[in-house]
Amino acid sequence: MLNQPELIHRLKNGDPSVFTDIVTQWQNMVYNTALSIVQNETDAEDITQDVFIEVYEKAEQFRGDALLSTWIYRITINKALDLQRKKKRQKNGGLLQKIFAVKEEDEPVDFDHPGVQLDNKEKAGMLFKALKKLPENQQAAFTLHKMEGLTYQEMAEVMEISLSAAEGLMVRAKAGLKKTLEHYYSTRD
């Protein structure tokens, strides 16, 4: 495996074999991250393609002041949140859409996340539904830290925030999830 400076140099020079290696190495990470946020397999696949198109097209803009994986995570999070915002705007627009729209909390969580065991699918569905109710930055923080396993420092670098801000986002995300999920578990008794 190439070291990062050599990898970046060859990517910037348009070496297709290096780009193939990058896609192979990070496509699962990109897909899983996008899926955790948009919660739709087709959208996650589209985002994955868009991320690697952007990596290829904007390779010369990569400054190298962060790891390549950090840059790829950042692009992924931004594209996933952009799509989520776009869908929210479409859902909220127009009188007919408002009259006939299905409320988000009524929509079933219907996708298979690679990290979820079959016997935990219902619990995971409730977690993903609760995750959608969090503010975007908390969704991103929770996804990066708990689902992708990034450290607080890595999460802070991807989100371009301070370490203490990253820790604060996680505290608020956990509190928000706890509040939402307490309601779910109290109604199941």
Along the 189 residues of the chain, how does pLDDT read in single tens digits? 667 778 888 888 878 888 888 899 999 999 999 999 998 999 999 999 999 999 988 888 888 788 889 999 999 999 999 999 898 877 766 544 555 544 444 444 455 555 555 456 677 778 888 898 999 999 999 999 998 899 999 999 999 999 999 999 999 999 999 998 887 666 655
| Cα(155)–Cα(147) distance, integer angstroms | 12
Angular region, 149: left φ>0, alpha ψ -120 to 50, beta rest: left
Kindly write down the DSSP assignment for every residue of 24-46, as one continuous string: HHHHHHHHHHHHHHH--HHHHHH
Amino acid at site 118: L
pTM for this prediction: 0.77
The CATH class of 4-188 is mainly alpha
